[in-house]
Amino acid sequence: MLVSLYEPLEIWSPTVLLLKTKRLTCFVAFSHQYLFVVPGVWSAQGLEMSVGKVPFLEAVNGSTVMLPCTYASCIGIKDLYFNWQYNDNGTMQKVCDAVIPTEDVVPDVKVFRERVEFIGKNHKNNISILIWNITFEDGGLYTCFGRNPKEKNKNHSAVFHLIVVDELRVVDNTLTIIIASAVGGAIAFLMAFMLLKNFTLFVLAKLEEKNKECLVSSSGIDNTENGLSGSKADSKPTPKKK
């Protein structure tokens, strides 16, 4: 049953199979009809919570933001417990929590903080939340925590940093524009130089070819004139001996 749910990568031996999920790679041992996780290897390949490749967001005061979080497990979940917590100067305040019975089941989420909405719906393991009309007090560190009883209560967490500002900073691109202009100018100069060089070589080749044709023509004319003179000289009658 488990093998049909995950993608087999390769079989290292008759009893060891390497499986791959969206983000995790699992080592699984099987014997006859029984399939179980290899002890010692699974401990580093358990539940994983992720807030994405960029774990922070800078947003304007009064806007609405999403705090992303997803989970992944090699052997699946059963009654996965998760919560979002806010770090208020060292004191962890619970934002929301729920228990997810199985994958693709929308959990009944309890929200403990105003202007917070659970939008992940557990669709493709998504447990993200939305914060409406953020204020400066909403800025700080948010922790997405998960615990999977199916993995002997293996737990994991990921931290997302929300930064609330008056207005977004305007990035000064002057240096970038100068560098891009300099590089573009250098490339244009190089291309113009190469075109001029090729054109000059082409003109010189044509002139050299024309000079060769002139030399061949003049040489032919000289040979013709010399041949005619010799013929005239040879055509004089030989005086007869008396």
Domain boundaries, the chain: 48-165
48-165: CATH topology: Immunoglobulin-like (2.60.40)
Q: In the structure, how many helices (H) and strands (E) does the chain have?
A: 2, 15
Phi and psi dihedrals of 239, rounded to 5? -65, 140
Q: Are strands 34-37 and 25-31 parallel, antiparallel or unpaired?
A: antiparallel
Cα separation, 20 vs 29, whole angstroms: 14
Q: What is the mean pLDDT of the chain?
A: 80
> To 5 degrees, how large is the angle CA 106–CA 111–CA 113?
150
Residue 169: predicted pLDDT = 73
Residue 168: predicted pLDDT = 77
Cα separation, 192 vs 180, whole angstroms: 18
pTM: 0.59
